[in-house]
């Protein structure tokens, strides 16, 4: 059994990736002590900055969904605090001409991720459960995903 929030995080990334046409392999690995040692892998390619931002935010938004929602600003702040995803998010936001690092833009993209996840709640929940139980779930295993 794997951590519920880590599974929700990776399921969030995977569902939003599928909705914007990006391949994502969701997995959770443990180092044997119960600590998570690595998680999903996304093949971004040439993605519109708004889609890229939504993909990056989708992990923390997925965690918020698993907890029963909450403030999207918290999901944005949590994502920005992550070393890897935070740097990528700042870069994606900087490429959106009208925003230039504004947190409002990040909240807007988090809302976009939430909208995608709500439309695809059944797939999100299925993949989250699969990740919790098995530690791996591939986007190719997912059914049709509603587009944003």
Q: 3 near 10, Cβ under 8 Å?
A: no
- pLDDT tier for residue 93 given thresholds of 50, 70 and 90: confident
Asked whether residue 139 carries a pLDDT value surpassing 60, the answer given is no
Q: What is the pTM of this model?
A: 0.79
Cα separation, 14 vs 46, whole angstroms? 17
Cα separation, 46 vs 49, whole angstroms? 9
CA distances (Å), 27 to each of 1, 40, 45, 51, 147, in order?
Answer: 13, 5, 20, 21, 23
Asked whether residue 38 carries a pLDDT value surpassing 50, the answer given is no
Asked whether residue 26 carries a pLDDT value surpassing 60, the answer given is yes
Q: Region 31-36: what's the mean pLDDT?
A: 49
- What pLDDT sits at residue 61? 92
- Average pLDDT over the chain, rounded to whole? 76
Each residue of 48-76: pLDDT tens digit? 888 888 888 898 899 998 988 767 888 88
Asked whether residue 35 carries a pLDDT value surpassing 50, the answer given is no
Put the strands of the sheet holding 36-43 in their side by side order.
36-43, 23-30, 136-138
Please measure the distance between the N-terminal and C-terminal CA atoms of the chain and give it in whole angstroms.
Answer: 32
Q: 26 near 14, Cβ under 8 Å?
A: yes
Each residue of 111-120: pLDDT tens digit? 899 999 999 9
């Amino acid at each position: 059994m794997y951590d519920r929030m880590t599974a929700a995080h990776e399921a969030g990334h995977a569902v939003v990736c599928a909705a914007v046409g990006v391949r994502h392999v969701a997995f959770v690995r443990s180092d044997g002590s119960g600590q998570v040692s690595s998680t999903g892998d996304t093949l971004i390619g040439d993605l519109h900055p708004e889609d890229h931002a939504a993909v990056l935010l989708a992990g923390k938004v997925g965690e918020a969904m698993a907890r029963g929602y909450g403030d999207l600003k918290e999901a944005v702040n949590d994502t920005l605090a992550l070393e890897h995803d935070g740097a990528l998010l700042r870069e994606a936001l900087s490429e959106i001409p009208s925003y230039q690092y504004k947190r409002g833009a990040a909240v807007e993209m988090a809302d976009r991720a939430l909208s995608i996840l709500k439309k695809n709640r059944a797939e999100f929940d299925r993949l989250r459960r699969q990740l919790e139980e098995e530690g791996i779930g591939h986007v190719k295993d997912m059914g049709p995903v509603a587009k944003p």
